[in-house]
Structure 1
Amino acid sequence: MGDDRRLDVLRAIVEDYVATSEPVGSRALVERHSLGVSPATIRNDMAALEDAGFIAQPHTSAGRVPTDKGYRVFVDQLSTVKPLSGAERRAIAVFLENAVDLDDVVDRAVRLIAQLTQQVAVVQYPSLRRSALRHIELVPVGPRQVLVVLITDTGRVEQRTVEAAAEVDPSVVAVLRARLNVGAAGRRLTELRTALADVEQGFEPADRPFVRSVVELIEQTLAQESEERVVLAGTANLARTGVDFARSLGPVLEALEEQVVLLRLLTEMAEDQAPVAVRIGRETGHDGLVETSFVTTGYGDESGSSVARIGAIGPLRMDYPGTMSAVRAVARYLTRILAG
């Protein structure tokens, strides 16, 4: 849509409808916005927008509401997102930086987005499939027992215990720790089997069963923990929005319970070129979410690569600039914490 004036009219309709939840008429646009044209011109613009499918009239004699297509134009034309206040930024930093481990970070992040946006918050857990090993620690905890600690570049920690058939020499544990870190540190799951394949060859035959058991445990742990999952918070916010979902909340809640649906959407949205991706209504590709919009962005390390996504799901009538700003801000702090 190339007409700047009609784009201004559409923007005003979206903003008013988000703010009031009431269909917007030409008189309201004249009173609330300085559009610089007569009411008759605005009515003509609204008629053109309706003919093009950007707005619709829900009832006879009612004002107009944005359609999915109208929201899409509005979002695509956003040049800036609503900035967070200094107090909000400080609150985000303090809240997230007080986390004690990755689980706590994820839990705090999802609750924070739900609070900031008053919508359903979604945080994709950093998967070991996309993570790299930062360090492997081996800690003797008994004559035949060794604790294996795996630390990823996203701060995730996995611990398992190996029990050897015979007493383990601490010097063997020290050598194995060094060789594992040389071979595995910085490598992703798909590269590890090759990297660890020859580790046991440098040990005496009597020590190789123990070495082999440690390597197998590492591989099994990474395979078991590579399944992706998402964490939700703020589901009750959907009932507080004041939005009348035409088909009730049931289909929306059912869709949110299906992790495979959310993971598919997050994966697809990771391909978007925009820093903050938005799926509106039918763009979600799921019948249960046709009355919602999904705003996400990636988080990961400060080099710009993303290990997972974070976002918010709310009604079509959402505050897009504010939601996009909150999601992006939390993602930035999350990236900073994980990179540190």
Structure 2
Amino acid sequence: MVDFIDDRKRKILKAIVQEHILTAEPIGSRTLAKNYEFGVSSATIRNEMSDLEDMGYLEQPYTSAGRVPSDKGYRYYVDSLMETRDYPEQEIRKMLGEFTFEQNVQTIMSNLARMLSRLTRYTAVISEPQLKKSRIREIKLLKVSRKNLLIVLVTDTGIVNNKIISLTKEISSKQLRYLNEFFSRKLQKRELNTLDEGFLSKIEEELLNRLKMSERIIKLIFDEMLKVAKPAELKVHLGGTSYILEQPEFNNLENLKKVLNILDHEEILGKLLNSFSDNELKVVIGHENQLEEMHKCSIVIATYCIGDKPLGKLGVIGPTRMHYPMVVSTVNSLSKIVGKIISRMDG
């Protein structure tokens, strides 16, 4: 059953959320009467606040205090009351211009995490493009010594994987050139998640019929190629972890330890990001978080894409007393431009 909240209660709830975000203090009826033109007395505002508390949208931290929003109150605010605006792409690009982006995804992701945290003054998190969702831009075999080859795989998302293969005998320059031409024809622009044993076995058989070369060496090359193409663990970059320390909610050492423990474990963060679908931007508030350690936090997460292909996640972690309009606008705007940055990389 959905609660009915009349217009006056909506305005009062919105004002309490906004005031609490700014002050981190319980908000009383006198403050609202002074700062907002509701056209009613403090006593009427107090009664409305009491009703909102009974409905679960507000909480009273201690007797004789004002009220603070509950998780339910923040949820209603985010879904029905707050106003947001996206940054124009030109404005985001101006911000990005302050950073030097080297031509590799790892540096770009690290810089974006720092920028997002600086813009929001909360902890930012961003995952690198997931290899399994990428296409092969280039795959090459390079001779590094008489019996050693280097496999280099570059994806359309800028990820570079490589591995050295030790052969039992040397292969000729002509054989190496043929291998590279063959792999270019068969594998270029192919999605990595289709590069499985079944597919590689088919083209391995085709190669054996065309090239006079040791079956053992060809099998070794294909086996190692499969390892290179296998998606690595999700890599997550953090920015602005120290901003957690600025939030009064985390003056409590136990609350702080819980959050820092999550931020300190990349595997847990990776699973947390992967738990969000690739749909529209998502705001998870307090006890809506699956992890108990995050019950004092809110998370705003968006998916970034190249074209219409979802590749990774970026977002912000902060207290439930988060400046939601600003964070949602910033995360949403940045998510729309990350894919463009990656797709324009040269190498």
TM-score (norm 2): 0.88
Q: 2:128 aligns with which of 120, 125, 130?
A: 125
CA contact (8 A) 2:139 2:184 kept: yes
Q: What amino acid maps onto 1:29 in structure 2? A: L
Secondary structure of the structure 2 residue equivalent to 1:161 = strand
CA apart distance, 1:144? 3.5
Give the whole-Å Cα distance in 2 for the aligned partners of 1:87 and 1:182.
Answer: 39
Secondary structure of the structure 2 residue equivalent to 1:198 = helix
Q: Which residue does 1:77 correspond to in 2?
A: 80
| Match runs of 1:24-63 below 5 Å | 24-63=27-66
Give the whole-Å Cα distance in 1 for the aligned partners of 2:66 and 2:172.
Answer: 80
Quick one: structure 1 residues 214 and 80, their matched pair in 2 at CA, closer, same or farther if it must change by over 3 Å?
farther
Q: 1:332 aligns with which of 322, 331, 336?
A: 336
Residues 96-121 of structure 1, C-alpha deviation per residue, up to 9 Å, x if partnerless? 67332111111111111121111111
Quick one: structure 1 residues 192 and 262, their matched pair in 2 at CA, closer, same or farther if it must change by over 3 Å?
same
Q: 2:114 aligns with which of 111, 116, 123?
A: 111
| Match runs of 1:100-249 below 5 Å | 100-193=103-196, 194-201=198-205, 202=207, 203-223=210-230, 225-246=231-252, 247-249=254-256
Residues 58-96 of structure 1, C-alpha deviation per residue, up to 9 Å, x if partnerless? 111111100011111111125642444888524433146
Give the whole-Å Cα distance in 2 for the aligned partners of 1:20 and 1:188.
Answer: 50
Quick one: structure 1 residues 36 and 217, their matched pair in 2 at CA, closer, same or farther if it must change by over 3 Å?
farther
1:253 is the counterpart of 2:260: yes
Give the whole-Å Cα distance in 1 for the aligned partners of 2:81 and 2:171.
Answer: 63
Give the whole-Å Cα distance in 2 for the aligned partners of 1:336 and 1:239.
Answer: 33
Percent identity (aligned): 31
Structure 2 stretches lacking a partner, 5+ long: none
Residues 288-339 of structure 1, C-alpha deviation per residue, up to 9 Å, x if partnerless? 1111111111112122x31111111111111111112222233222111112
Residues 163-197 of structure 1, C-alpha deviation per residue, up to 9 Å, x if partnerless? 33333222322322232233333333431123322
Give the whole-Å Cα distance in 1 for the aligned partners of 2:180 and 2:44.
Answer: 75
Give the whole-Å Cα distance in 2 for the aligned partners of 1:78 and 1:182.
Answer: 55
Structure 1 stretches lacking a partner, 5+ long: none
Secondary structure of the structure 1 residue equivalent to 2:204 = helix
Give the whole-Å Cα distance in 2 for the aligned partners of 1:195 and 1:187.
Answer: 11
Residues 197-249 of structure 1, C-alpha deviation per residue, up to 9 Å, x if partnerless? 222333334244333222211111233x5222322222211111233455431
Quick one: structure 1 residues 36 and 168, their matched pair in 2 at CA, closer, same or farther if it must change by over 3 Å?
farther
Quick one: structure 1 residues 141 and 265, their matched pair in 2 at CA, closer, same or farther if it must change by over 3 Å?
closer
1:313 is the counterpart of 2:317: yes
CA contact (8 A) 2:118 2:240 kept: yes
CA apart distance, 1:148? 1.5
CA contact (8 A) 1:162 1:214 kept: yes
Secondary structure of the structure 2 residue equivalent to 1:306 = strand
Q: 2:13 aligns with which of 10, 14, 27?
A: 10
TM-score (norm 1): 0.89
Across the aligned residues of Structure 1 and Structure 2, the Cα RMSD in angstroms comes to 2.4
Moved more, 155-164 or 194-203: 194-203
Quick one: structure 1 residues 170 and 34, their matched pair in 2 at CA, closer, same or farther if it must change by over 3 Å?
farther
Q: What amino acid maps onto 1:325 in structure 2? A: S
Give the whole-Å Cα distance in 1 for the aligned partners of 2:81 and 2:116.
Answer: 21
Give the whole-Å Cα distance in 1 for the aligned partners of 2:212 and 2:305.
Answer: 42
Give the whole-Å Cα distance in 1 for the aligned partners of 2:27 and 2:311.
Answer: 42
Give the whole-Å Cα distance in 2 for the aligned partners of 1:123 and 1:230.
Answer: 6
Give the whole-Å Cα distance in 2 for the aligned partners of 1:184 and 1:78.
Answer: 50
Q: What amino acid maps onto 2:320 in structure 1? A: L
